[in-house]
Structure 1
Amino acid sequence: MLVDSHCHLDFPDFDGERDDLIARAREAGVDLMVTICTRVRKFDQIKAVAEQYDNVFCSVGTHPHQAGEERGIPACEIIDLAQHPKVVAIGEAGLDYFYDKAPRDAQAEGLRIHIEVARQTGLPLVIHSRDADDDMAAILEEEMGKGVFPALLHCFSSGRDLALRAVDLGLYVSFSGILTFKRSEDIRAIARDLPADRLLVETDAPYLAPQPRRGKRNEPAYTAMTAAVLAETRGISLEEIAAQTTDNFFRLFTKVPKSFHTGEGLA
């Protein structure tokens, strides 16, 4: 069993095809998916997808690209939305200094609000971090000092220092199709060295399809391709990496019913 811990099934790229998409994922051994929210104001769209499928869960939050347009949404509003039974995570929120689509102060403000939501709800915060390693590490360390919260660095493409500092704080690290790219030797080296009990896999679909599908639309079934490279990188079997990353997922995403871990929750 594999889990796609981060995809965007509400995106129009998948309109009219979601039933087939879910079926292909299951055929590939990807039995659970978490579709990730990028705009609190569009949460109803995310919720509708998650409610339609027994094996799809979701998050609620604001992507750093939208941190400017959704500035001022209070923690209490996100907490209320997170009470929905299908919401198992907060975010994605974070810092993106590569595109800089929102003011950096708005991104930081949004990240801190989402951290408070994760702290109060106990749901894991899905963190987006790109070209912002120093500021991200500083905020995480400062905020963890105020009170612990569960979190993961999703679609990891940062430096070793951020990965190690995050793990020291108790965070998990999730790898996407980037891990499979030919020029991702540094990312694979980090993935090889991190503790086994902190690893997750994801697609970030429809983006970042792994080799040999790079450049095409990504989908949850391709989680298996990334998992295979992660297994090879760490010198273990695909079955072992599937079991480890799935165990890690359920340890972090505690709101997902335990029946899904045993397969009993899957129709």
Structure 2
Amino acid sequence: MGYLFISPFIIGTLALTLFPILYSLYLSFTDFNLIGTPQWTGIDNYKEMFTQDPQFWQAMKVTFLYAGTGVPIRLVFALLVALVLNKVVEMAGFYRTMLYLPSIVGGSIGVSIMWRQLFGNDGALNSLLATLGLPTHSWLGDPDTAIWTLVVLYGWQFGSSMLIFLAGLRNIPKTYYEASSVDGAHKLQQFFKITLPLLTPVILFNTVMQTIQGFMAFTPSFVITQGGPMNSTLLYILYMYQNAFQFFDMGYASALAWVMLLIIACFTALIFKSSEHWVHYDDN
């Protein structure tokens, strides 16, 4: 009877999660154009990826730049805002809600279109610069600045991380701060000696989750820049999408997906391994 009740979940997991994952692994060793029958090619897709495809390395470079800069920016802003909100008593719920809203809609098509208009040649930013008598710039048309517009958008979506940091801050006993104040510790010392060490489990969680999200980013690049100019914003997931649904090379796209899975797994494992040296729990 128990298995009967959980059967919808089991069927859904097998049909919608486990089978697609295993099937994509099979497709990564085939030549499949979404119409005919997959043709087994062995490791040819992986050989082409690493030895014959400069676009693959460009997508890797852009994605590492995006995640490597966007994740720290988001985490730092989230922590700073959480520290401020932790001191707010009046209307704290309202401020938390307002700051969390960008995380709800930040990855949506609508906000990406708004961001494209904001940084466009005739957008609000250039209009402000022109009003102030400053030179304007083609932010999305310049390969040197286009990727940074996406990084800023990613950093702007700090609401979910901020709420998690805020929950962690609320769990730190106030007696620690009171005792340190009696001993003469100032605010900066309290932050580095009390707040930061006790917050490291939360920092670990947020770092892992935001790193995964950074590597999996797709919508901003797809909507705002379409990977341009000159592939300067060609994020990895966008390149995988192009191979699957524009070039109709699902076998190669599946190989790309599995390479990204291994990259994310390696980074996650490294973060957890490093946590042995900097994460502090109550029982150690």
Bin for the TM-score computed over the shorter chain: under 0.3
TM-score by length of 2: 0.25
The structure with higher relative contact order (CA 8 Å, sep 6+) is 2
Rg larger in 1 or in 2? 2
TM-score by length of 1: 0.26
In terms of fraction of residues, the more strand-rich structure is 1
In terms of fraction of residues, the more helix-rich structure is 2
